Structures are given as structure tokens and as C-alpha cells.
Amino acid sequence: MSESDKEKQKLYYPSPELATTARVKNMEEYKKIWKHSVEKPREFWAEEAKMVDFFTPYKEVWTGSTDDDFVGKWFTEGKLNVAYNCIDRWVEKGFGDEESLIWMGEDDTIKSYSFSQLKDEVSKAANALKSLGVKKGDRVCLWLPMISELAIIMLACARIGAIHSIVFGGFSAESVKDRIDDSECKVLVVADEVKRAGKAKPMKINLKGIIEQCPSIEHVAVVKVTGNPTYEYEKDVDFSALMATQSADCPCEPMDSEDVLFILYTSGTTGKPKGVVHTTGGYLVYGMSTNKYVWDYSCLLDLKGAEPKDRDVWYCTADIGWITGHTQIIYSPLALGAKTVMYEGTPTWPHKGRFWEICQKLGVTHFYTAPTAIRALMKYGAEEVNKWDLSKLKMLGTVGEVCNWPEWKWYWDVVGKGTGGEKPVGRPIVDSYWQTETGSYMMVNFGSITPMKPGSCTFPFFGCNPVLLNEEGEKINTPMTQAYFAYDMPWPGLMRTVWGDHDRFVSTYLTKFKNHYFTGDYAQIDEKGYYFILGRSDDVIKVSGHRLGSAEVEAAINSHDAVAESAVCPYPHSMKGSTIFAYVTLMSGVEGNEELKTDIVKHVRAMAGPAVKPEVIMFSDALPKTRSGKIMRRVLKAIALQGDIGNVMTLANPEVVQALVDERAKLGEIKF
């Protein structure tokens, strides 16, 4: 075994002082509580739900049953409001002047909101939405950069019971339209422009010609970021001006536990994106519970001996356009009464140490980012980190994809200041495994106590019972054996349905393995029971930790005039984890050249958003298909990687394979 292999397989320990104030004191206690949580989930979740203030108490914790109604209803007939739990209750308990959301702009502006100030801003935004006719149950689409208004308006929706559907700012206007249409949003909130790396970039103008085709939209609420002139549409409302005239008094709408809090679209294997539906009570309880135990930060719910003003400072670097931003920047930390940081910009502007500068400036104690960001930052070396005072940091974390050994080691050594040796000790790296669908973490190490294994998301969170299954649905208990990754019981934060398509929910997640939630991932355990995620078992491509559905990317490519057909697969990328490798069959008579490749890439980015970029395009006369006409992606992946292609006898057209192999050879070695 090489030195680095040995290093990789060691256990790494959290700094011992963390355990002294931990909410779960040690691994024995973790195991005991976990066992109780899966044996008596109703008892366990009833206890956890005490963290939430209900206007009307709930009747039953959970109505489901794992062999009949898998998901069930949680905290039935309880009435509550998420914004109330995030903001108002802290004001009512006398913490109105304490910091809540700390927003920092690219230009260093800091807007630190006390709970009272946040309440006022959210109430004004809520009244502004109401004045546009938005009522409980209406859908509001938010397409915004990481400006403070994004946080405020999402909380405003929660306050009045409107359902928000946030679309990542890096997606295209076309994708905004699809999402608006699918859930029939009444209002779209958009920024005039975006600030990126010191420059103003257009945003709203991209809607020209598209927003006119969204019949459900009654108003386009424009948030002024730069105030520069942009495309004007007859349904525009100056939302910044409207908010300024509103009263700061707006009651919180009592919502049923099972009322929808938000829809968030995510890519699936086939067809259009799925509107993942999260509800009010279960989502809130689950998010709070995971964050409280895993990170152990001091917060108003449990100050752990700190003065309110000296609470820990939580910084999650995600964009609110993804589930991580929803659950980990806004809802869970605020409901716990934490100080939560939201940053407008990118990690490398105006300099390569921006994240670490923010940690110093805002006194960050808990820092949560993605492996793709660590890979991008590690190439600038330790100097960029060491320039800053990170002495307040207690815990680090990652999410979105496997945190592989090189970036794990760098994070541990350079940011975590961990030791080497037989029993390495340092700032823990929390590896959290979850999905848009699952609300919050299902596999995760408890920062203060769990011994870590690099690349492993370790053990299940309370109430989650993971199982490894083979194709037939039989349990695989053999260590180091790849299997399908599923859960044999639900938890309160699990999605309830796909918006407008419950059958799709059932068929995607609950059908492959009866009475189980199937994640779509492969995983394995080692001899010690540590879980390792091995990647997607379906056609979802993870680029920089973000999910892209092959069908959507292909649809964007196919909409180019010169393209007859296409198929995409993941290809390794040193920064992004994977990138997109596209096989493109052109219309007859069209000549494939470099210029056309550039044009296709441009077209795809315009259709699907700048985040969607096929970095390799290979023209191919035909694609390998099964007799039923399905593209054989396994073969395409192998050809892209110039690996072993395996058996192609089941193909309808095995002869195309050699041509593709030859074509691929012409591209030579491709390294990102």
C-alpha cells in the first residue's frame, strides 16, 4: 500500500474540545439515539418537533406506514408559519436586536439584519406581494442573483403562504419560462442586472420575447440592482419602489404542516425538470434537527452558554437557487436562531482568497462549501489561505459530490490545520450527503464527535435507515460491493410529490424498490460500516456538484438547426468533477467543423443557461442504440473515456461502435 493509500484509509478525529460541548456527546450516544429514532420514529420526531412553534398543535406525528403509504403526512393538522419560526418568534422572545442574516456584497458592503430589521423588511416585501394580488397557495417565481432581496422575498412568500419557486440565476430565461409554466406562477421576481466580478451583467433583458409567452404571469416584479435601463415589459412593477412604500406590519399566515412551502426544480433522468415539492412542518423540523446536531453551533434555540451576541457564525457558500441555499443559508439556521452569512459574489474575485477573507471579516466559525470550490481554490496554494486569520473557525463541511482525497487532504491540512500521525486531529470536515428531494442531510458525520474517513459521508442521520440493494432488491451486506442506495423508511423532510405529477414521484423514487425511497445513487460500505457514495446510477450528470439531466442538455443541443440527434455523457474534469461530452449527429448535408461546434455550444448556453456547457463535442454519423431505440449510454461513456466497451451484441447497430471509437481516437487525449 502506498503512503497516500495508508493516509486515506486512516480515521481522522475532530478536535477533542468540540465533544465537551456537543449536543450528542459521543458515538455510543449517537448509536443509541439513532436506534431509537428508527425504531420509534414517531417518538423521536415528536421530541424534535418541540423546537418548532406551532400556532395550533399537531395531532399525529406521522400517518404513513412503510408498507402501504410510504411518505405519509407529518405533524397532521398542525398550524404554523416558517417565517414566524425563523424571525418573529425570536423578536417576541426579546432577541429583536440580535443579528440574524449577515449579507455581504461583492463591493464589501455588509448588511447585517437584526431579527427586528429582518421582520420589517420581510413584512414590507410580503405586503408588496399582496398588493400584486399574491395570496396563500399562489406560486411566485424568483429568478435573482445572490442579493439580500432574494432572502427577504423568499421569506416574504413563506410569511403569506405563497409558494416560491426559485430558479438559479445561472439558468437561462428559457428554463425560467418552463418552470413558470409548469407551476403556473403568477408573479416573476427578477433583477434588472447582476453584479459579477465588478461588472454589471444583463439579466432581465434575457426575458425579452420569452416572458411574453408565459400566460400565467400577471406581474413582473423588478428588483433594482444597478438601476441601469433594461428591457421594459408592460407587466413590469418596480418592486424596490413598491416595497419602500409598504407597511412593516404583516401577519404570518397560519399554514397547515402539509401545505407546500416551496417548489424547487431539479433534473431527472428523462424529460423536463421535476418540481420537487417541500411542505411546511416536516421540512422545517428536519432541517433544524440536522443542523443542530451535526454542526453544534450556538444559536438562540440553544446558546450553549454563549451570550446571544457571541453566537457562532455560520457560512454556507451555496447559491440560494439550489436546495443547499434554501435549507442551509435561510430556513434551518434562521429557525434555530443562528447568525447566517450570505455572500453575493464568487470565491475568486476580487482575489483568490475571498472566502477566507469573508471568514476573517465576519468571524465565521462554521464553514460549509462544495468539493468543486475546494478544488478550484487549492490550486492557488496555501498562501491564499494563510493570509487570513481563520482562528475562529471550528468546523468545515462539504456537500454535493464526493470529497475526494486530494481536496479532502488539502482542506484538512490547510484550512482545518489538522495534524498527521497515527491519530490525526483537527477541525472536522463534515461530509453531508443529501439531495434536493430529501430536504436535508441523510448521511453525515456529526462534526464534534464522528471519526472521519476521507471521501465517506460516514453514517446515517437520525430517522434515516439506509440500505444497499441489488437489482432484485435484496440486501447487500458485503463490504466494498457497489449497490443501489435506498432508504427503508421516510423522514419528515422528504419531498411529498412532484408538482402536478404524483405518478412521476412514485415511479421515480418509490417503485424500483418496493417500500423504499431510491436515491438514484450507487454506494458501498467498508468493513467498519462507513458509507461511500459511488455516483449516480442514472443519466444525471453532476457538473460542479450541480445536477444536469442528460435529456435536457440533449434537447438544447437538438434545438440547433444543424443538429439531427445527440447524446451526452459525463466526462472527468479536474475542477468540476465532471463535464459534458456530447455526441452530435448533424442534419444530412451539414459539414461538421470547429466553427459549428462553437456555435452549438453558444446555442446550448443560450437555451439552457451559461452553467450548461458541452465541453467536448464529437460529430458522429449514428449513435449506438438498443433494438427498442434507446441510446446505450454505457457504450458512449466507455468510448468517451477510451475504455473497455464491453459487450455490444444487444445493440441494433453494433457496426457504429467502431466508427465512434475511431472518431474518438482522432480527438486524442482530452484533459480538463
The span of 123-131, 195-203, 413-421, 434-442 binding ligand WT7 (CB under 6 A) equals 434-442
Give the DSSP H/E element, type plus range, for residue 20.
Answer: helix 17-20
Residue 519 interacts with ligand WT7 (CB under 6 A): yes or no: yes
Beta bridge partners of 342: 103
CB-based contacts of 478: which residues, under 8 Å, 6+ apart? none
Q: State the nearest-atom distance from the C-beta of 56 to ligand WT7, in Å.
A: 31
Where would I find the beta strands (DSSP E) of 120-186? 139-143, 163-166
Q: State the nearest-atom distance from the C-beta of 433 to ligand WT7, in Å.
A: 4
Q: State the nearest-atom distance from the C-beta of 444 to ligand WT7, in Å.
A: 8
Of residues 158 and 533, the one with the C-beta less far from ligand WT7: 533
Separation CA 51–CA 69 (nearest Å) = 26
Among 30, 75, 410, 433, binds ligand WT7 (CB under 6 A): 433
Of residues 365 and 432, the one with the C-beta less far from ligand WT7: 432
Burial of 131 from C-beta contacts in 10 A (0-12 / 13-18 / 19+): middle
Among 41, 145, 428, 520, binds ligand WT7 (CB under 6 A): 520
Residue 266 interacts with ligand WT7 (CB under 6 A): yes or no: yes
Among 324, 372, 544, 585, binds ligand WT7 (CB under 6 A): 324
**Binding string, residues 398-427; x marks residues near ligand WT7 by CB under 6 A:** -xxxx-------------------------
Q: State the nearest-atom distance from the C-beta of 510 to ligand WT7, in Å.
A: 16
Give the three cell numbers for residue 247.
Answer: 407597511
Beta bridge partners of 196: 199
Query: Under rule CB under 6 A, how many of the chain's residues touch ligand WT7?
Result: 21
Among 13, 74, 286, 434, binds ligand WT7 (CB under 6 A): 434
Separation CA 388–CA 391 (nearest Å) = 9
DSSP string, 58-104: -S-SB---TTS-SS--BSTT-EE-HHIIIIIHHIIIIITTSEEEEEE
Q: How open is the CA angle 49-55-61, to the nearest 5 degrees? A: 35
Q: State the nearest-atom distance from the C-beta of 431 to ligand WT7, in Å.
A: 5
Helix axes 41-48, 27-39, angle to 10 degrees: 110
Separation CA 280–CA 257 (nearest Å) = 5
Of residues 325 and 418, the one with the C-beta less far from ligand WT7: 325
Give the DSSP H/E element, type plus range, for residue 263.
Answer: strand 260-266
A 10 A CB-CB count for 249 gives 11
Residue 495 interacts with ligand WT7 (CB under 6 A): yes or no: no
Of residues 225 and 323, the one with the C-beta less far from ligand WT7: 323
Of residues 330 and 660, the one with the C-beta less far from ligand WT7: 330
The span of 514-522, 567-575, 580-588, 598-606 binding ligand WT7 (CB under 6 A) equals 514-522
Of residues 255 and 329, the one with the C-beta less far from ligand WT7: 329
Residues 71-130 within binding reach of ligand WT7 (CB under 6 A): none
Residue 457 interacts with ligand WT7 (CB under 6 A): yes or no: yes
Residues 544-563 within binding reach of ligand WT7 (CB under 6 A): 546-547
Residue 431 interacts with ligand WT7 (CB under 6 A): yes or no: yes
Among 98, 312, 521, 554, binds ligand WT7 (CB under 6 A): 521
Among 332, 432, 465, 585, binds ligand WT7 (CB under 6 A): 432
Q: What is the CA radius of gyration of the chain?
A: 25
Residue 374 interacts with ligand WT7 (CB under 6 A): yes or no: no
Residue showing cell 456584497: 105
* One-letter amino acid for residue 203 of the chain: M
Report the candidate in 376, 444, 433 with the shortest Cα–Cα distance to residue 410. 376
Report the candidate in 481, 466, 476, 472 with the shortest Cα–Cα distance to residue 519. 466
Of residues 347 and 654, the one with the C-beta less far from ligand WT7: 347
CB-based contacts of 92: which residues, under 8 Å, 6+ apart? none
Separation CA 251–CA 517 (nearest Å) = 37
The span of 27-35, 245-253, 395-403, 468-476 binding ligand WT7 (CB under 6 A) equals 395-403
Binding site for ligand WT7 (CB under 6 A): 266, 323-324, 399-402, 431-436, 457, 519-521, 533, 536, 546-547
